[in-house]
A and B are shown apart, each in its own frame.
Chain A
């Protein structure tokens, strides 16, 4: 189970990233954030976001119409 859950379904670029950034502030160091999104662009964007911020993209998967990302706060 992730420490925090962010439902960003129905939101378009760049809102899933912006909301994830905010949500990560509430995640303790080493903890995880699960993000649900429906924006197909989010797949590539969360990869880039994690590379640039140094957070770890533990998992990126698709369930039906939903993209699910598990991000570990490594800061």
Chain B
């Protein structure tokens, strides 16, 4: 547990499981841990997918009208209607993964490993596991299983509480 000069704490509710939305919680959790905060991540609904052993994260272009990708020297946005076409999300995902590599941005598995290494406390939502029929053995070892009360107990004592 980080506990240098400030034993502050942060909790994050992680609700989204797409490649782009996986970044904010893991970036903030690892950075806060590096800065000496005690960090708890509560993975619920689609965020629970981020705890799977095999991460195969994708981007959804649907409902993401502000998403622009640098392409051919300009920025291209994708009209929402295109999102319905087969292969469009796959293409956007491939492009994003290329950019991530090219720009020296950490991969999500890398950030997740760093979070575990930094003793970030991870809680997997039991109700979501039941709802989506996730098996414990399909998920990484570290996280504990808990529910809303487990989160609230942590959040009520945390200096920062985020919902992402």
* Residues of A near any B CB (own CB < 8 A): 10-15, 17-18, 20-21, 39, 48-49, 52-54, 75
Contact = CB atoms under 8 A, between A and B. Distances in A.
B142 to A, nearest CB: 18
Given A52-B35, A52-B36, A53-B35, A14 B4 contact: no
Interface of B: 4-6, 27, 30-31, 34-36, 103-106, 114, 118
Contacts of B118: 18
Closest 6 CB pairs of A and B: A54-B5, A21-B34, A52-B35, A14-B31, A12-B104, A10-B104
Contacts, number: 46
B136 to A, nearest CB: 28
Nearest to A14: B31
B4 to A, nearest CB: 5
B34 A18 contact: yes
Contacts of B105: 12-13, 15
A49 B37 CA distance: 11
Contacts of A21: 34-35
Nearest to B6: A52
A11 B6 contact: no
8 contacts: A14-B31, A15-B106, A18-B30, A18-B31, A18-B34, A49-B34, A54-B6, A75-B5
Given A13-B27, A75-B5, A18 B35 contact: no
Contacts of A15: 104-106
A11 B104 contact: yes
Nearest to A24: B34
Contacts of B27: 13-14
Contacts of A75: 4-5
A51 to B, nearest CB: 9
Nearest to B100: A12
A64 B71 CA distance: 28
Nearest to B103: A12
A75 B105 CA distance: 29
Contacts of A39: 104
A14 B5 CA distance: 20
